[in-house]
Amino acid sequence: SQKIEQNSEALNIQEGKTATLTCNYTNYSPAYLQWYRQDPGRGPVFLLLIRENEKEKRKERLKVTFDTTLKQSLFHITASQPADSATYLCALVGRGSTLGRLYFGRGTQLTVWP
Amino acid sequence: DVKVTQSSRYLVKRTGEKVFLECVQDMDHENMFWYRQDPGLGLRLIYFSYDVKMKEKGDIPEGYSVSREKKERFSLILESASTNQTSMYLCASSLLSDGTQYFGPGTRLLVL
């Protein structure tokens, strides 16, 4: 069956360190992968998209990698800040999906402490 | 900026009531989605629509129906609310091009 797993439910790191979140998938062949941020009681907010033919994407302090051989994406936040504390979701879009449906992982809750 | 609005942030209903959750987007997106989110279960897709009057079942459509009479509006209907439908309901919209979804603020529904 298809499965998307995010490495852990919770990750706690110290301010200034790099946070690394993992998204693994099985039985998918995604055309691209997205990362979202969700704050408590709010809807998810889109952060980054990476396509199957891209190895790496950056946006300010964020970096995403996508390894279709390992079936894995890594999401990095460098120089982390307490304001980065949130739940981060990965989502896949299947190849040939003309309806734009996303398949979400359950998320990793990141806490950055001062 | 894309804006997705939901009719209520909080809603309390009684078991057996018919409940309407409304979602409106202002960016002419083709796709619209309804999810529910529960602790430990993540986002689960209830229904989605890729055009006016078109709908597709998601992973958990039982007990729900939807309506899309206009492109900008997508309604979720709980025909007869039950306590196990107490949840956070999230609406989203997207273009067909890359599937990036824009979410509303959510409606926290409590069914007593």
pLDDT digits (tens, 9 = 90+) for A18-72: 999 999 998 888 888 999 999 999 999 999 999 989 989 999 999 999 999 999 9
For residues B92-110, b (16+ Cβ closer than 10 Å) or e, as one string? bbbbeeebbbbbbebbbbe
pLDDT at A97: 59
pLDDT at A28: 81
Residues B19, B35: Cα–Cα separation, whole Å: 15
Chain A residues touching residue B40 (CB < 8 angstroms): 106
Chain B contact present for A46, CB below 8 A: yes
Higher-pLDDT residue of B19 and A98 is B19
Query: How many other C-beta atoms are found inside a 10 Å radius of the C-beta of residue A3?
Result: 11
For B92-112, write each residue's pLDDT tens digit: 999 766 788 999 999 999 999
pLDDT at B108: 97
Nearest to B17 by CA among B83, B73, B75, B62: B83
- Chains A–B, number of C-beta pairs less than 8 Å apart: 60
Say yes or no to pLDDT of A1 above 70.
Answer: no
By Cβ distance, the residue of B98, B99, B103 closest to A43 is: B103
pLDDT at A99: 63
Structure confidence at residue A98 as a pLDDT band (50, 70, 90): low
Contact of B34 with B89, CB cutoff 8 Å: yes
Is A43–B92 a contact, with Cβ atoms under 8 angstroms apart? yes
Chain A contact present for B38, CB below 8 A: no
Number of structural domains (chain A) is 1
Residue B79 tokens, joined: 């025909």
Residues A13, A35: Cα–Cα separation, whole Å: 19
Higher-pLDDT residue of B42 and A88 is A88
Chain B contact present for A42, CB below 8 A: yes
Q: What are phi and psi of A83, to 5 degrees?
A: -70, -15
Nearest to A46 by CA among B46, B33, B103: B103
Chain A residues touching residue B36 (CB < 8 angstroms): none
CA distance A43 to chain B (A): 5
| CATH architecture entry for B4-97 | Sandwich (2.60)
pLDDT at A114: 92
Q: Where in chain B are the domains?
A: 4-97
Is B96–A98 a contact, with Cβ atoms under 8 angstroms apart? yes
pLDDT at A96: 64
Is A100–B105 a contact, with Cβ atoms under 8 angstroms apart? no
Query: How many other C-beta atoms are found inside a 10 Å radius of the C-beta of residue B36?
Result: 22
Average pLDDT over residues B81-94: 97
Residue A100 maps to which CATH number?
2.60.40.10
Contact of B101 with B86, CB cutoff 8 Å: no
Q: Name the β-bridge partners of A4.
A: A25
Average pLDDT, chain A: 91
Polymer length in residues for chain B:
112
By Cβ distance, the residue of A97, A99, A104 closest to B43 is: A104
Chain B contact present for A98, CB below 8 A: yes
Contact of A65 with A55, CB cutoff 8 Å: yes
Is A106–B56 a contact, with Cβ atoms under 8 angstroms apart? no
By Cβ distance, the residue of B40, B41, B50 closest to A99 is: B50
Say yes or no to pLDDT of A79 above 70.
Answer: yes
Q: Answer left, alpha or beta for residue A54, where phi above 0 means left and psi between -120 and 50 means alpha.
A: beta
Say yes or no to pLDDT of B3 above 80.
Answer: yes
